[in-house]
């Protein structure tokens, strides 16, 4: 074989490798599901119990935080908690069904879900009539019976698509710029760029955070990751310094009393709620700030009401439960039977960790006010359903962890 023939064959081989991802995407689940059956551990009971316990406490906290607004706005003190309970019930059904599925089949949905998420976010400019604006941000699509944030789908799209591609590419390709960095940066950039039009800075931070952590777990070259992360951080800082509402939030974060009747009101009332709770709290249902003083007591600032009523002890209890759930989620990821399962479990757990940390930091004044909800607690039915469905994916991974060998 001549050198020319060899070079042509090599070029054809390179083209074949570059175009092999879609074919591998369709074949990989089949290969994984055809592996010899092993004795499996079954569903992870501690993780499931923590989810159920947090959801039960979350519904109690939501009732206490929302009954004043519900009576004032809807004429029914139970309006918000009944609606949230219905979504939670539907979410648990979805969680159970998904947990019994073989998670390897989710490979097939990776690229379609990412494409659907991008298309859904793009309707912000293409079909603006279906979008709803609250507090100066257009982040919700009106479904008539309820409202829905497409960013919730975007979070899961990043988890699913990144997990699928990383497991297909393998460690060698993930260490290269072409495979291990550029496709993932492009997807994060597309999603964050569309969210910037809403604007939804907190959603951008969570999507980018999930993506970066999954790339790190997947073996992306640290040099390219640091370079890309620096560029992304610079872009976030630029947006924060150029968006008028972001600038105001930064100023109010540094000193909420410069605008105590408007932008600083939420932070001030949150501090009053937490401070008045003390160590033991005022008692369940006894919050004063939820009586039309604290804006959004059932949503982003529900943790402030919980701290006021249950005190430092109650706050620490919730923090410990979230920490235990997050640690158990990463434990499941570490024990998963393959890379795809590890990345799925780690991605969902990372989303919960980021949202919980950001929400609690905002409520306590450690971060500027953002629109990040507290998982299992904040009012938002569709967001809760998506979250419980994602937890079903983690449980599906836990079901297929090989059981430890008996001595």
Domain boundaries along the sequence of the chain:
106-237
Average pLDDT over residues 360-365: 92
Find the largest Cα–Cα distance for the chain.
Answer: 86
Mean pLDDT lowest among 194-198, 249-253, 376-380: 249-253
Structure tokens at 384: 């809760």
Quote the pLDDT of residue 221: 84
Question: Are 25 and 168 spatial neighbours (Cβ–Cβ below 8 Å)?
Answer: yes
Q: How confident is the model at residue 11, as a pLDDT? A: 43
**DSSP-derived 3-state class of residue 133:** strand
Q: How far apart are CA 308 and CA 295, in angstroms?
A: 15
Q: How far apart are CA 326 and CA 47, in angstroms?
A: 9
Residue 16 has pLDDT above 80, yes or no: no
The span from the CA of 64 to the CA of 60, in Å, is 6
DSSP letter assigned to residue 161: H
User: Is the per-residue pLDDT at 246 higher than 50?
Assistant: yes
> In this predicted structure, what is the pLDDT of residue 137?
77
Q: What is the DSSP string of 23-64?
A: HHHHHHHHHHHTSPP--B--S-HHHHHHHHHHHHHHHHHHHH
pLDDT of residue 226: 82
Q: State yes or no: cis peptide before 199, omega within 30 of 0.
A: yes
Residues whose CB falls within 8 Å of the CB of residue 161, separated by 6 or more in sequence, listed in order: 110, 111, 113, 114, 187
DSSP summary character for residue 402: B
The answer, as to whether pTM is greater than 0.85, is yes
Could you tell me the pLDDT band of residue 333, with boundaries at 50, 70 and 90? Answer: very high
User: What's the CA gap between 102 and 89, in Å, rounded?
Assistant: 22
| pLDDT score for 230 | 80
Per-residue model confidence as pLDDT tens digits over 97-133 = 999 999 999 999 999 999 999 999 998 888 888 888 8
Distance of alpha carbon 274 from alpha carbon 268, whole angstroms: 10
Residue pair 352/375 in contact (Cβ under 8 Å)? The answer is yes
CA distances from 154 to 120, 208, 302 (A): 9, 11, 24
pLDDT of residue 28: 56
The first and second tokens of residue 307, run together, are 């701290």
Name the pairing type of β-strands 137-142 and 131-134.
antiparallel
Please determine, for residue 337, whether its predicted confidence score (pLDDT) is greater than 90: no
Over residues 284-295, the pLDDT tens digits come to 999 999 988 988
Q: Is the pLDDT of residue 340 over 70?
A: yes
Residue 109 in tokens: 């949905």
The tokens describing 317, both together, are 């209890």
**Res. 9 pLDDT band, cuts 50 70 90:** very low
- 136 CB burial (10 A radius; 0-12, 13-18, 19+): exposed
Read off the pLDDT of each residue in 388-404 and give the average, rounded to a whole number: 90
Residue 14: pLDDT band (50, 70, 90) is very low
Tokens of 152: 């919730």
* Res. 257: pLDDT tops 70: yes
pLDDT, position 323: 97
Instruction: Output the six-digit token pair for 124.
Output: 């912000």
Model confidence at 405, pLDDT cuts 50, 70, 90, reads low
């Amino acid at each position: 074989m001549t050198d020319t023939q060899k070079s042509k064959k090599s070029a054809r081989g390179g083209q074949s490798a570059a175009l092999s991802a879609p074919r591998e995407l369709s074949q990989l689940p089949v290969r994984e599901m055809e592996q010899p059956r092993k004795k499996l551990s079954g569903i992870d009971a501690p993780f499931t119990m923590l989810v159920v316990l947090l959801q039960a406490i979350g519904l109690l906290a939501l009732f206490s935080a929302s009954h004043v607004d519900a009576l004032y706005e809807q004429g029914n003190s139970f309006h918000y908690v009944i609606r949230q309970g219905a979504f939670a019930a539907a979410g648990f059904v979805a969680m159970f069904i998904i947990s019994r599925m073989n998670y390897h089949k989710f490979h097939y949905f990776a690229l379609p879900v990412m494409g659907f998420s991008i298309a859904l976010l793009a309707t912000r400019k293409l079909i603006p009539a279906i979008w709803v604006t609250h507090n100066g941000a257009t982040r919700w699509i009106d479904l008539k019976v309820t409202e829905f944030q497409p960013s919730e789908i975007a979070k899961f799209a990043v988890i699913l698509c990144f997990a699928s591609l990383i497991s297909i590419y393998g460690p060698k390709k993930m260490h290269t710029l072409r495979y291990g960095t550029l496709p993932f940066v492009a997807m994060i950039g597309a999603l964050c760029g569309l969210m910037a039009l809403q604007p939804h800075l907190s959603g951008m931070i969570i999507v980018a955070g999930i993506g970066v952590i999954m790339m790190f777990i997947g073996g992306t070259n640290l040099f390219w990751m640091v370079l890309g992360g620096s560029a992304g951080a610079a872009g976030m800082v630029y947006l924060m310094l150029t968006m008028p509402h972001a600038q105001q939030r930064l100023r109010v974060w540094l000193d909420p009393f410069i605008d105590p009747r408007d932008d600083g009101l939420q932070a001030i009332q949150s501090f009053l709620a937490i401070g008045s709770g003390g160590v033991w709290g005022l008692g369940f249902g006894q919050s004063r700030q939820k009586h039309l003083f604290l804006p959004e007591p059932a949503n982003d600032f529900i943790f402030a009401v919980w701290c006021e009523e249950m005190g430092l002890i109650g706050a620490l209890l919730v923090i410990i439960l979230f920490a235990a759930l997050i640690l158990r989620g990463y434990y499941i990821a570490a024990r998963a039977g393959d890379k795809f399962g590890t990345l799925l479990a780690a991605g969902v757990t990372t989303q919960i960790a980021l949202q919980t940390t950001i929400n609690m930091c905002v409520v306590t004044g450690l971060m500027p006010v953002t629109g990040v909800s507290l998982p299992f607690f904040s009012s938002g039915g569709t967001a809760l359903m998506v979250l419980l469905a994602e937890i079903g994916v983690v449980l599906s991974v836990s079901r297929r962890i090989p059981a430890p060998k008996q001595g």
